[in-house]
Chains A and B, each alone.
Chain A
Amino acid sequence: MTPRLLNASTVNSRQRSTVGNSTIGRSRMDFATLGRAPLRLGMGSRRITSRDLEIVEATEELLLSEVPEPEGVTSNVSLLRGFNATIPSAEQSRTRRKQMRSVDAPHLGLKKLGMNARGMLVDDDDGHSVTSEDDVVMVPRADTIRKTKRRKGRESLSASKILGKEELSRQKKEILRDKENISVRRSLINGEIAEITDKIQALDNIRNQLEQNLLKLHEDELELDDELVGVRERLEFEQESSRTPKKSSQPLHLLQSSRRRKGPAFLPSEHDELPPGVAFMTLESHETSITALDFSEPYGTLVSASQDDAQPIVWDLFSGTEIGRLRGHTGPVKCLQVEDHVCLSGSEDGTVRLWDLRRVESDDTDEWGDEGEIVSLSDITEESESGDEPLPRLNGIRKGKKPLELRNDPCTRVLEGHTKVVTALYFEDDCLVTGASDKTLRQWDLTTGQCVMTMDILWAMSHSSTSVPGSVTNGLFSGAAASIGTFVVPTPPFSDGSWEMYEDFVGGVQFWGYGLVSGSGDGAVRMWDMRTGQAHRTLLGHTGPVTSIQFDEIHIASGSLDKSIRIWDLRTGGVFETLKYDHAVTALQFDTRKLVAAAGENGIKVYNRTSMQQSTLSTNGHTHPVQRLRYMDRYLVSGGRDSTVKIWSL
């Protein structure tokens, strides 16, 4: 009976400690250990509190944690050293010495004073000194000496006492020890300070991190807002189209408003896996600097044009292969816009051509194969769009187009009217606005191919300058000079030192409803009313030709050769923000969250409008300055002076 009880108690009381104790414990299960068990049992009177259990339980965890080599203060000053240096009794000897010296002075309670000074004693007032009585060595006074010295009047008290050699040497030792204690305490405090500095640093980092997270949240929120607006628009559009399913003879233009302006792009899920800010595809067929590019949608169709090349290349962005070329222009193409399968290009030959990208075929491959691919792609990405619509549209194109020699010629219309290089164009639905170096803007009806209106920038310049006195401060371009010859300005050197003659008088146009905005070579951003053809406001500020503009509901962004981008308030016409760059800005695009710009450098500039931070995309990027760019959602295409086109994930 006894042995069983004994075993049971062993298990009960020492269960915890034996669990992880196999290494040491097992070997120790000897006679003595066995013997302890009944003692434990017998010592049941000893109170085992929850704290006892707590600390015993913690043993395992503590033993498992790593024990690093001590370093820094910890290796210099041990805890015990610190203890001895900081406990109150460390002050004892000092107190004692002082007591000894101040014989005549009343007892000041030095220890207490010292304690108070260090904030250690708060309310203890019994004046009880820790110093034990036998520590104080009383040395008899030498009265005779004292008397003789007294005559000199005021003097230090200490000189009036004789302490004896033994005592003095003892005091010396004590003082040395105290000094050592002081240095120990000093290094302790220094250690603490260093540690706190580290902690503050760490906390600061965490704080920064959190602030960034907050910004990120803000950005995400904006993104969601945008997406919501896009989806709402889409919903409206789909309801609309379901209500009127058969509109008679759809022209080749899209019903939906430009996706460039709004809404989420439908990116394949693989796109999310791409590292952001990296160019993941390079298209290298061009031989000269890229002058224009645009694409239908992420992983859709890209059209890109380069200098001295009258035939823009059509690419399949999904595979990164060339589909074919747009043949027809007799001069290099300066501007492009692609919406779905519709492409418009403006060229140095003064014409604008309308292309149906579905009919683009490569020289050697079977056309239907390529076409099928494009169509299927667009079907995938814009589900509802497909269905029965492509056919009527196709018919519309055929109806509308002139009888051309080739049945499958992708060029469906040629718009003639400009007398000089067409440098900028923008279309939405059936309405097209072009800007050319003949210093006019023209509005076209794409269904008929007729020029609806011509807006003369020269006229606007001469008239606005009178209405706004002192506006022609930019001596860049006086009215007279403008009216005569051609517009030619050398660009400021790009980051690689190269430069060129800039001849595009109209850098950019965009319209919405009846509101039209143009950016031109005189450095002015003009707002036109397309009903009257009058410029009703001119935004002055740029000191170089405007190369690119874009606007949304609130802001106009304009990039200029004066190495800056200005963001204007659409309503007040004031400058909302000015972004300075090191080189001329050649292209830009923005949304509510970011502004992406080609600023004469190899890297693409991305300005986060929420956090106001600039970043540069250069990983696997261009080897010469970026010239043109376009993005949708997180899909960016850029063309550079290194004659390559790069596709980026943002």
Chain B
Amino acid sequence: MSTDLPYAADAEVSLSYDELEVLKLQYEKELAQVHVTVQTKFNYAWGLVKSPMRDHQVEGVRLLQDLYRAEPTRRRECLYYLALGHYKMGNFEEARRFNGLLLEKEPTNMQALSLAQLIEKGVAREGYIGMALVGGAAAVGTILLAGLIRRATRK
């Protein structure tokens, strides 16, 4: 089972609108019948997570959390999907923690390991962008400062 998880790349491939619509209809139909099967819920949630729209992703993660709460036997799997969902949303901190918990349970899980790397990469990239921003700001600041000083000294 441990190998039966999608790689992170899979999460980037979104379903077509129709497919998502079918999943949604199925989910809503079962919701109206009060009993929602785990699979249906997951299908919809996973479809949402795969979607490029952030609102969809958020909803997907929320559904996954519901699943996680309601189905203790599915928790381990859900850990991964939650990590993946958070990763996709850019919540690297949450993603890392869910993935970390999964790796605690299954240290050899390939998908989880690769996801961990991706998360690190994502964190680093954000970091670099951030540093660049800070650097840029600092540079502008120094230039301004230098200008001010120069103006001051010129007087």
For chain A, residues 115 to 155, give those with C-beta under 8 angstroms from any C-beta of chain B: 115, 119-122, 124, 128, 130
| A82 on the B face (CB < 8 A) | yes
Q: B62 contacts A32, CB within 8 Å?
A: no
* Binary CB contact string for chain B from 1 to 41 against chain A (1 if under 8 A, 0 otherwise): 10011100000000110110111011001000001011110
A59 lies within 8 A of B97 (CB): yes
CB pair B21–A124 under 8 Å, yes or no, is: yes
B65→A55 contact, CB < 8 A: yes
Residues of B within 8 A of A40 (CB): 130
CB-based nearest B residue for A49: B58
How would residues 49 to 72 of chain A score, 1 for a CB under 8 Å from any chain B CB and 0 otherwise?
Answer: 101101110110011011111111
Please indicate the chain A residues that have their CB under 8 angstroms from the CB of B73 in the complex.
68, 70-72, 74
CA distance A139 to B98 in the complex (A): 50
- Are A36's CB and B22's CB within 8 A? no
Q: A460 CB to closest chain B CB, in angstroms? A: 68
* B 84-101 binary contact with A (CB < 8 Å = 1; else 0): 000001010110111011
A614 within 8 A of B: no
Q: Which B residue's beta carbon lies closest to that of A115?
A: B22
| Interface SS of B by simple majority | helix
The answer for the CA separation of A78 and B43 in the assembled complex, in Å, is 12
A79 and B81 in contact, given A68-B75, A88-B19 (Cβ under 8 angstroms): yes
Contact B18 A124 (CB under 8 A): yes
Report how far A2 CA is from B140 CA in the complex, Å.
12
Check B123–A33 contact: CB distance below 8 A: yes
Q: Which residue of A lies closest to B102 (CB)?
A: A67
Complex: how many Å from CA A392 to CA B38?
82
Inter-chain CA distance A75–B141, complex, in Å, is 59
Complex Cα–Cα for A127 and B60 (A): 28
B82 and A2 contact, CB distance less than 8 A: no
A78 CA / B96 CA spacing, docked (Å)? 22
Q: Contacting A83 at CB < 8 Å: which of B42, B72, B74, B138?
A: B42
- Measured CB to CB, the closest approach of chain A to B16, in angstroms, equals 6
Q: Is B124 an interface residue (CB 8 A)?
A: yes
Chain A residues numbered 174-221 whose CB sits less than 8 Å from any CB in chain B: 188, 192, 196
- Expressed in whole angstroms, the Cα–Cα distance for A49 and B130 within the complex equals 23
Judged by a CB distance under 8 angstroms, whether B143 is at the interface is: no
Query: A105 interface residue, CB < 8 Å from B?
Result: no
A14–B23 CA distance with the chains assembled, in angstroms: 34
B97 is contacted by which of A63, A68, A188 (Cβ under 8 Å)?
A63
| A489 shortest CB reach to chain B, Å | 64
Nearest residue, chain B, Cβ from A62: B68
In the complex, the answer to whether A70 meets B74 with C-beta atoms within 8 Å is yes
Contact check, A87 vs B23: say whether CB atoms are below 8 A apart: yes
**Beta-carbon contact of A80 and B4 below 8 Å:** yes
A75 / chain B contacts, CB cutoff of 8 Å: 1
Check if B149 is an interface residue, CB within 8 A of chain A. Answer: no
Given the complex of chains A and B, what is the CA–CA distance between A2 and B138 in angstroms?
8
Count of chain B residues near A, Cβ 8 A: 66
Q: Is the CB of A86 within 8 A of B39?
A: yes
A25 proximity list for chain B (CB < 8 A) = 93
- Whether B61 sits at the interface, judged by CB under 8 Å, is yes
User: What residues of A have a CB within 8 angstroms of the CB of B21 in the complex?
Assistant: 124
CB <8 Å contact, A14 and B93: yes
| B116-143 contact mask (Cβ, 8 Å, vs A): 1 or 0 | 0000000110111111011001100100
C-alpha spacing A58/B62, complex, angstroms: 9
Complex contacts, B141 vs chain A, CB 8 Å: 2
List of A residues within 8 angstroms of B18 by Cβ: 88, 124, 128, 130
The reply to whether A39 and B129 contact each other, CB–CB distance below 8 Å, is yes
A88, B22: Cβ atoms closer than 8 Å: yes
A38–B100 touching, CB < 8 Å: no
B residues less than 8 Å from A124 (CB atoms): 18, 21
Interface contact B68-A17, CB-CB below 8 Å: no
A63 to B93, Cβ gap below 8 A?
A: no
Q: How far is the CB of A527 from chain B (nearest CB, A)?
A: 59
Instruction: Name which residue of chain A comes closest to B105, CB basis.
Output: A67
What's the minimum C-beta distance from B50 to chain A, rounded to whole angstroms?
10
0 or 1 for each of A75-99: is its CB under 8 Å from B? (1 = yes)? 1001111110011110000000000
A32–B126 Cα distance when bound, in Å, is: 8
> Is A86 in contact with B43, judged by CB distance below 8 angstroms?
yes
The smallest C-beta distance from A55 to any residue of chain B, in angstroms, reads: 5
Contact check, A67 vs B76: say whether CB atoms are below 8 A apart. yes
B39 touches A82 (CB 8 A): yes
A57 to chain B, nearest CB (A): 10
Min C-beta distance of B100 to chain A, whole Å: 6
Q: Which residue of B lies closest to A47 (CB)?
A: B54
Check if A475 is an interface residue, CB within 8 A of chain B.
Answer: no
Distance of A79 Cα from B55 Cα, bound (Å): 22
Q: A44 on the interface (CB 8 Å rule)?
A: no
Asked if A21 is at the interface of the complex by the 8 Å CB criterion, the answer is yes
A602 to B43, CA, bound (A): 62
Select which of B5, B19, B62, B65 is within 8 A of A130 by beta carbon: B19
Given A56-B91, A62-B82, A119-B29, 6 additional A-B pairs, CB 8 A = A21-B93, A25-B93, A38-B130, A47-B54, A74-B73, A88-B22
14 inter-chain pairs at a CB distance below 8 angstroms, sorted by A residue, are A2-B138, A35-B129, A38-B137, A42-B130, A49-B58, A55-B62, A56-B94, A59-B98, A62-B68, A82-B43, A87-B19, A119-B29, A120-B26, A188-B39
By Cβ-Cβ distance, the 4 closest A-B pairs, closest first, are A32-B127, A35-B127, A39-B130, A35-B130
